[in-house]
Amino acid sequence: MRDLLQDKNITYFPSRLQMQSKIDRKVLDKFGFQILRNFGTSSEKLKNFIMGYGYRLFYTESLNGWLHTFETQTDATELSEELEPGGFHTDFMFQKEPPRYIALQCIKPDPKYPLYGRNQVVKIDNLINAITKCGVGKDQLRELQIEYVLNGKIYKQNLFDDDLKSIKYHQKFASNNIVLNDDLKIIELINNLSLSICEDIVLKSGDLLLIDNHTTLHRRSECSVRYDFEKRIFEGRKMNSARFN
């Protein structure tokens, strides 16, 4: 499948870099993400790991802390718990200064690993290159404002910064599907192009995925659940997430 999607303008993440055991800014700057295999499932280790490199953990009032632990469920109460695919987005995109990095630590993979519960990421450079190939100019992209509806309120926000070096976006909350050249609709265009050029990442228990939240969109694919007949509950993919600067 990858051979069918190869694009000479896209640098795909080499498997040799998945053997790394430290945060590598050069890798994050180049690819927009980094994978650390067999990192472990301890949240305390994750905290010390991030802070040990001089980064500051991003605390949020809604979580009352820095760590967000979530599991996909049949009766989800938030987006991260839903079984259906998530939309491509950046985290905390309504804030003036969103956290720079995201850490996704796999505690328990999807019951139908590796087919379900994948993470998908696409770097802004590759996305802009693909959009311009569709006939949309960079000046158009600089002026694009997306309208969002959240908790009954309407927000308008530029999609890219003036230099086209960072992005703020959330597909699930976007409400104005702006029509561009040749009847192209921006939300559909971002989603479809991102799906065609994204890196598809499979995390097993103990793997850690780091994402540059300013330069890279991410989402997860459809998830599944397994019924535990002894506990009499459905169980799904379980993750820790943390943000840091």
Q: Give the domain CATH number at 234.
A: 3.60.130.10
* Structural domain total, the chain: 1
Q: What is the pLDDT, as a whole number, of residue 183? A: 80
Reported as a pLDDT band with limits 50, 70 and 90, residue 152 is confident
Gap between the Cα atoms of 151 and 3, Å rounded? 42
Contact 220, 117 (CB under 8 A): yes
Share of the chain above pLDDT 70, in %: 94
Mean pLDDT to the nearest integer, 122-126: 96
pTM of the predicted model as reported, rounded to 2 decimal places: 0.92
Predicted pLDDT of residue 12: 58
Sign of CA dihedral 191, 194, 83, 155: negative
Higher-pLDDT residue of 179, 2 = 179
- For the chain, the maximum distance between any two Cα atoms, rounded to a whole number of angstroms, is 59
Q: Which of 19-33, 75-89, 97-111, 177-191 is the least confident region? A: 177-191
Residue 143 neighbours by CB under 8 Å, 6+ apart? 158
- Residue pLDDT, tens place only, 38-78: 999 999 999 999 999 999 999 988 788 999 999 999 998 88
Which phi-psi region, left, alpha or beta, contains residue 127 (left: φ > 0; alpha: ψ -120 to 50)?
Answer: alpha
Q: Quote the domain boundaries for residue 106.
A: 2-244
